[in-house]
Chain A
Amino acid sequence: MADMDLDKRFDIHEMAKNKQAEIERFACSIYCCHSTGCKSSGSDDLIDLMKNFIAEKEAEDKIRIVATGCMGLCAQGPLIRVEIKGKKDVLFKRLDSEAVAEIMNDYVWPALNAKGDFAVPEKLQKYILSLDLPFFTRQEKVVLQNTGHMDPEDIQEYIARGGYLALEKTLKTMTPEQVVAEIKKSGLRGRGGGGFSTGMKWELAAKVPTIDEKFIICNGDEGDPGAYMDRSILEGDPHAVIEGMMIAAYAIGATEGWFYVRAEYPLAVERLEKAIKACKKNRLLGNNIMGTDFCFNVDIRLGAGAFVCGEETALIHSIEGARGTPRPRPPYPTNKGLWGKPSCVNNVETLANVAKILLKGADWFASFGTETSKGTKVFALTGQVEHSGLIEVPMGTTINEIVNEIGGGVPNGKKLKAVQTGGPSGGVIPKEYMDMPVCYEELKKVGSIMGSGGMIVMDDTSDMVSIAKFYLDFTVDESCGKCAPCRIGGKQMLSLLDKINKGKGTKKDLAQLRKIAAAMQKASLCGLGQTAPNPVLSTLKFYEDEYQNKLVDNKKAAGEN
């Protein structure tokens, strides 16, 4: 296929058919997780080892090794899933070279040659991770449906799994207005955290006439420390994001697309680069895409380690090659964005949803979720939880279901204390609210936000004042310094927290904290400053006693001094 005549009009249906037939020929597929998490636990070596085994046995036509994106359970990596025709799929965990050699020799090879069922030998049982765990069965994969099931670096596999069909449908049978209407109807909301209706944003962007240029920008500047949804999507299924961006471009009349990705994610950047190259080679990017009038090109710009660049106006400055400082809105980027041209900024996960909505219909998408929050959401479930990893659940799933059922609860006999969502811009949700459904509105009600999808579980040993200080430390460090409320307010709040944490705080300091927080929320220029006090305010709201216990007056009253 590599030597395919470039002049011949490339046909995705034919490519899908060929690739499906090719995959069908293999009796055994071994999927090895090849994302940042498992790669750093050594999955590269395991892949080499398996490839050598296949070469030795001359089984190149029977077994294929697929290096996939994230399989979800990063804490148990490296993970390998063995799928042999006629046998049950088996997932192996925490592997090293020795274990993989044993698996190949004592399970894969004999099972491949055995008729009927073949049980995994006793000595390999310790590596098995049951696929019947609620961690796997309770999830609903929409965005992550390909991640972990295909090689993200192979465009043919994406197409074989129904990729670019949505683009074809859009370009050939729908008008841009129909696309916007469909997305609006689906109820998709921005997955970056704000939760603004994507359809509405596209409508606004589409209304601005394209004079010479209009841009669509993909925000892949995932700054929340402790979250890696966007990274996993870009690493595991880059074509889904590109396809979503192309559909968005068609809908709003954009001429060029920009990916803005953190430089700290080299693997995501590499996979995205490869995917773009493959698209260009197969004429999915460029002029007259799929034989229509639609012309579109994309480029990548790297971030350089600034949390504030997740804010859309700061992000735009950064793409322009300047300091990433935000500016007041309006004018909104949809009117005046990159280089002063109308621009629409969408998050990675938002764009990854688009192709599926167009292909399966807005009603299908809206069947997931709650009244106001539709679809699914990817979360990075981390912290003090048994099964830490990447999960996707329908909106409206309760925190209890996520933490205790999917996540397997808090380990080491400790008790759950709280869950934190929204990273440094979010707040804590105490265990009393565990039956609360996770959706934009409910989280806001308790003083947290959906955020981009970081969900951090804390056990009863966590000190809430220190955690609030940890987050504030982060936002103060990342404040760009442009506006005074954020620059000075953050610093002052931090020194007050430090004082309280050292046991020198007074009641006055608590009042002062609240006062500065309110000023920052009201007067800061951008989202970073407006939300920076959230971790402090929400811990103050639910765990004021922990603050009180550290105050010097209360210590005196308790007779400690």
Chain B
Amino acid sequence: MVETSQAAQIANKWRKKRGSLIMALHEIQDVKGYVDWQDAVDVSLGMGIPLARIYEVLTFYNFFKLEAPGKAVISVCTGTACYLKGNDKVLEKFKSELGINEGESTPDRMFHLQSVRCVGCCGLAPVCVVNGKTYGRMTPEAVPQILDEWRQVFKEN
């Protein structure tokens, strides 16, 4: 028996349900953190959807990542409440500290920086989220501290 990839298994699970392409892609990204070319090919074969259609969807929606992001994904909220309370300065600080732009990863693949539209904690604005952990009432001064905290986490593992 030919060994099937994770993506192929997920595609197989969703293929009989209607309108499930996005759900299948979500599941692959949940497991792997991103959806690459091979996954898209597997989904295409498994679900009988042309590859072009899959890339149409993958590139249309902001949520999907096409390549492996850094280990710690930093999401800086750029919703209105966070913007008004100065999160643009926090974002700038992250950029200068890490030397990368939004949507990029550091060369050592430790950090990935992205801006997101509202994480729904407007009461805590300005907010940023690192791998699911939320930091509320952010200031640019807190940025190096957060980076060090995560460097420490990866050093220990």
Contacts and interface: CB of A to CB of B under 8 A. Distances in A.
Contacts of B60: 306, 323-324, 480
Contact of B61 (A76, A223, A324, A470): A324
Interface string B109-148: 0000000111111111101010001101000000000000
Nearest to B129: A40
B62 A36 contact: no
B62 A74 contact: no
A494 to B, nearest CB: 15
B61 A228 contact: no
Contacts of A304: 22, 25-26, 57, 61-64
B80 A228 contact: no
Given A225-B80, A323-B56, A37 B123 contact: yes
A467 B26 CA distance: 33
B48 interface: no
A251 B60 CA distance: 36
B134 to A, nearest CB: 3
Nearest to A74: B123
A470 B121 contact: no
A388 B19 contact: no
B53 to A, nearest CB: 7
B16 interface: no
Interface string B69-93: 0000000001111111100000000
B84 A74 contact: no
Contacts, number: 133
A305 to B, nearest CB: 4
Contacts of B49: 321
B155 interface: no
A74 B56 contact: no
Contacts of B84: 383-384, 456, 458, 462, 467
Interface in A210-258: 223-228, 231
A21 B82 CA distance: 45
Contacts of A375: none
B79 A226 contact: yes
Interface residues of B, number: 40
B13 to A, nearest CB: 14
A474 interface: yes
A454 B22 contact: no
B73 to A, nearest CB: 13
B117 A40 contact: no
A227 B123 CA distance: 10
Contacts of B45: none
A272 to B, nearest CB: 14
A474 B129 CA distance: 20
Nearest to A226: B80
B21 interface: yes
B6 interface: no
Contacts of A40: 121, 124, 127, 129, 133-134, 136
B20 interface: yes
B19 A321 contact: yes
A318 B22 contact: yes
A307 B56 contact: no
A264 B120 contact: yes
Contacts of A307: 117
A94 to B, nearest CB: 11
Interface string A321-358: 11110000000000000110000000000000000000
Interface in A376-400: 380, 382-384, 388-389
Contacts of A339: 18-19
B23 interface: yes
Interface in A65-101: 73-77
B81 A456 contact: yes
Contact of A380 (B22, B62, B122): B122
A420 interface: yes
A231 B79 CA distance: 15
Given A37-B123, A226-B118, 10 more contacts: A36-B119, A226-B122, A227-B118, A227-B122, A228-B120, A264-B118, A264-B120, A304-B61, A305-B61, A382-B125
Interface of B: 18-23, 25-26, 49, 53, 56-57, 60-64, 78-85, 116-125, 127, 129, 133-134, 136
6 contacts: A40-B121, A73-B123, A75-B123, A225-B117, A304-B63, A384-B85
Shortest Cβ-Cβ A-B pairs, 9 listed = A74-B123, A40-B134, A226-B80, A225-B79, A304-B61, A321-B21, A305-B62, A305-B63, A304-B63
